[in-house]
A and B are shown apart, each in its own frame.
Chain A
Amino acid sequence: MDMSLPAAAGSKMKLVMVGNGMAGMRTLEELLKAAPGMYDITVFGDEPHPNYNRIMLSPVLAGEQTVEQIVLNSRDWYAENGITLHTGKKVAKIDRRARCVETDSGTRAPYDRLLLATGSRPFVLPVPGARLPGVLGFRDIADVEAMIRASTESRHAVVIGGGLLGLEAANGLKLRGMDVSVVHIGAWLLERQLDEPAARLLQQSLEEKGLRFLLQKHTAELVQGESGRVCAVKFKDGETIPADLVVMAVGIRPNTELAESAGLHCNRGLVVNDTMQTFDPRIYAVGECVSHRGIAYGLVAPLFEQAKVCANHLAEHGVARYIGSMTSTRLKVSGIDLFSAGDFTGGEGTESLVYSDAAAGSYKKLVIKGNKLVGACIYGETLDGAWYFDLLREGTDISQLRKNILFGQSHLGDAGHGPAERVAALPDTAEICGCNGVCKGDIVSAIRDKKLFTLDEVRAHTKASASCGSCTGLVEALLAHTAGGDYSAAPSKKPLCGCTEHSHDEVRATIVEQKLKTMADTMRFLEWKTPDGCGKCRPALNYYLLCAWPTGYWDDAQSRYINERAHGNIQKDGSFSVVPRMWGGLTNPQELRAIADVAEKFKVPEMKVTGGQRIDLFGVKKEDLPAMWADLAAAGFVSGHAYGKAMRTVKTCVGSTWCRFGTQDSTGLGVKLEQLTWGSWMPHKFKLAVSGCPRNCAEATIKDFGVVCVDSGYELHVGGNGGIKVRVTDLLCKVETEAQVLEYCAAFTQLYREEAHYLERTAPWVERVGLAHVKAKVVDDAASRKALAERFLVSQKPAQVDPWKARAEGEARHEFTPIAAFV
């Protein structure tokens, strides 16, 4: 029997949610998307408000936003989605046997599934006077309203706790005109987010805003005044300061009383498994009340990840798992930028790179362990935070970046983005994402209108930062500014795509280990969630299978992008461009005449010499392609693969044959390299070049594999890129003979083919695995090099068949002819 598809509306399953906050409501929104109408839903919230953006309480306190502006789901929204909402009602009891909850006012609601999203509450210091009138937490709208009221009636505010929340409260109260002191037990502020030098800079700029700090102070007592309200804070050292308002911000505690009273297992939070289920399988839990693998999260992005997983299981799709998040921190105080992630304290076995300019208010500390970034702490210029967070999360080998890493990503050669400016000050028309042409105004209105909280959501809706990613820091700053999201949490493992939970590396390894030889077998064995994959995983699987079984895999044309299926480059008007191969960039009158004839015969509207020294014929109609290729094949041309994730071109300079500086025959070597590598399918496009001397006219040091000839032999360079992120190659080694160049080239190419992720160029691949790894496999170990080169040659045998000639002779004719025509 299928419980998910009840026969009549009356027999719908009942879902009750306790807690009306962000994590719980996000779960319901995801559930309504995944399985609309599957449940009768009832929500209980003990606050009198519908769901609002709790992160934005700081700007409300600071007077920058209103309560109305931070409401996320209006009461109308609940009604439109058929959700019964009870606000201002506290659920007092869960009867698990009868499957029913009961509020303290006696309202009962039966459930088939129960979702607990009870959140957390401020920790109250166990000191005398902690419950006096005038002592508040900083947790909900009622707290903020009480603080705003106090700010109009009284003068002295004391905030206990110098963490993120405490500083935001202090900043808001100061802006409301109060005289604010921050009491902190630690030696410096934000000790969980900052090291001491960064915290000192922060303290200094907060002092310039008028805040006062009392560090290493232990609160002994909150003193009651004549009015019955709090009037002072007394410390253990005897000092007393006046206080008309005290805000406790020393930490939060998960609200687990209700769960505990129902006998659910709790341990510093309500314990859930990877499917967000508690020990009672009918009861799920998400949000700040939850303890997952021993961690209770307090930031929005991980909670939204939990929401997505929980909704998937409530919808009975049963395929998602939450495996924890890595988080980073920012502070929401206008004009103050700080960022931290990972282990930024350092210690034994780690090294620290530090940049400090106190006068400019700028400080950066990066902690490195074994060539990997393990922590970052930045005060001042934080736009590179996202980049550091990526390096950290991906475990990138940074040995090649060490010299410049402190200066940020822009110092590594991004094209076309210029110096980062303060986003808040930019006009709405300012272009943020150059790749996809997205302006600040577009992003801000999408964040507001669509209620976006995470970087991934902004990417999906606006395409900003979805291509090269170099504007990620700017987009994150916009998110922080607009929604207050702590956007940069991310899953600790990246699946290949939405169809699977396995990473690229796991998929590749499984194909080889399990000898999976077809796409269907691979999807079946790895339990793909979709019947036939998607536009992201199918091309990747096709390549991985082709690479693993070069002679035993039947290439799946329908899993290739159109450029590779039609063997031309699709242009924006749907026409194609055609680039015949010209070995090493060499040509002759007969070849040029043949190209000219073809261009005239097929009325090619435009021709151009490409960056890779080939001739490109633009604007060819798809149905003309086979006939054009037949003519080109007759003149001796083969496909230039200018359209594929494949070996593209070998660019050369003239070399010793003509050039007075040339040291070797660079053109001749270029032709040999191109004959060796043409036709090879790759994880991404792959370009080579050979320069005849260190003047490097063929620009070999920004190629995937570049050769620079010198008097005594050949320098081999790898991992270069001339695209959005310019990357100069790393020197792999120097060799003496042309035969060695060819062998090293074959071995390097094959290592890249076997190890890189699909759509990963050599530049990020070399950065990810480290040059040392490449050297170990290709240079230091001769047996490994020979084996790699041999495997490359084996894979080249079936690959070096001209796809153009085959199609001119009738292969895949359906690709080029209409099935029917009506006039």
Chain B
Amino acid sequence: MNMSHNWVEIGRVDEIPRQGARVITTATGDIAIFRTAADEVFALADKCPHKGGPLSQGIVHGRRVACPLHDWKINLETGIAAAPDEGCAARYPVRVADGMVSLSLIE
């Protein structure tokens, strides 16, 4: 385990809707925390690299979310926009233990 991580518990997996997201508010901007149909959990800055749309409000499908403003597809694992669009949303490390989701704010 990487000791530089600063893990913070943020809530239980079942508080995030499957194929959906919740928001974590922070002093430096919102973070979106996603749960896929396969119960994987990912976290990205809640800001589309295109025009800043709130990714947490998009439709989650596979390991992607479609931005609600202009339908860019953002990869949840990498934060990278699907081609032909180009851009990247910041990622945050996430881990799940016993149904509890933790997030590291240092990346």
Contacts and interface: CB of A to CB of B under 8 A. Distances in A.
B23 interface: yes
Given A814-B15, A818-B25, A819-B23, 14 more contacts: A461-B84, A531-B38, A535-B73, A557-B17, A558-B60, A559-B59, A561-B59, A570-B68, A572-B51, A814-B16, A819-B15, A820-B24, A822-B25, A823-B26
A538 B65 CA distance: 13
Interface of A: 450, 460-461, 530-535, 538-539, 557-559, 561-562, 565-566, 570, 572, 574, 814, 818-823
Contact of B54 (A539, A574, A823): A574
A445 to B, nearest CB: 13
A562 B62 contact: no
B54 A531 contact: no
A574 B53 contact: yes
A460 B81 CA distance: 13
The interface centre, meaning the residue of A530, A566, A819 with most chain B CB atoms within 10 A of its CB, is: A819
Contacts, number: 87
A534 B24 contact: no
Interface residues of B, number: 38
Nearest to A459: B84
A823 B24 contact: no
Contacts of A572: 51, 69
A823 B84 CA distance: 37
A565 B20 CA distance: 11
Nearest to A537: B61
B10 interface: yes
A90 B21 CA distance: 57
A530 B20 CA distance: 17
Shortest beta-carbon contacts, A-B, top 4: A535-B66, A819-B22, A562-B57, A558-B19
B58 A819 contact: no
The interface centre, meaning the residue of B23, B69, B73 with most chain A CB atoms within 10 A of its CB, is: B23
B27 interface: yes
Given A450-B84, A557-B17, A819 B57 contact: no
B33 A819 contact: yes
B87 interface: no
A823 B62 CA distance: 32
A558 B58 CA distance: 9
Contacts of A559: 19, 59
B96 interface: no
B26 A538 contact: no
B11 interface: yes
A822 B18 contact: no
A822 B69 CA distance: 26
Contacts of A530: 61-62
Contacts of B26: 821-823
8 contacts: A530-B62, A562-B57, A572-B51, A572-B69, A574-B54, A818-B30, A820-B11, A822-B25
Contacts of B15: 814, 819
A823 B26 CA distance: 5
B67 to A, nearest CB: 9
A558 B18 contact: yes
Contacts of B73: 535
B61 A814 contact: no
Contacts of B8: 822
Per DSSP, are chain B's interface residues mostly helix, strand or loop, or mixed?
Answer: loop
A561 B59 CA distance: 7
Contact of B11 (A531, A561, A566, A819): A819
Contacts of B61: 530, 532-535, 538
Contacts of B23: 818-819
B16 A819 contact: yes
Contacts of A539: 59
Contacts of A823: 26-27
B40 to A, nearest CB: 12
A817 to B, nearest CB: 8
A434 B22 CA distance: 35
A460 B84 CA distance: 7
Nearest to A533: B61
A655 to B, nearest CB: 39
Nearest to B54: A574
A432 B27 CA distance: 42
The interface centre, meaning the residue of A531, A558, A570 with most chain B CB atoms within 10 A of its CB, is: A558
Interface string B1-44: 00000001011000111111011111100100100111000000
Contacts of A534: 59, 61-62, 64, 66
A818 B22 contact: yes
A736 to B, nearest CB: 46
The interface centre, meaning the residue of A531, A535, A559 with most chain B CB atoms within 10 A of its CB, is: A535
A614 B38 CA distance: 42
Nearest to B9: A820
B79 to A, nearest CB: 18
A729 B64 CA distance: 40
A530 B36 CA distance: 13
Interface string B53-95: 1100111111010101101010000000000100000000000
Contact of A532 (B24, B37, B58): B37
Contact of B20 (A460, A533, A558, A822): A558
Contact of B59 (A450, A531, A538, A821): A538
Contacts of A461: 84
A532 B19 contact: yes
A558 B18 CA distance: 8
Contact of B27 (A532, A574, A822): A822
B10 A532 contact: no
Given A532-B37, A566-B57, A820 B62 contact: no
Contact of A561 (B20, B51, B64, B68): B68
Nearest to A820: B10
B24 A822 contact: yes
A822 B51 contact: no
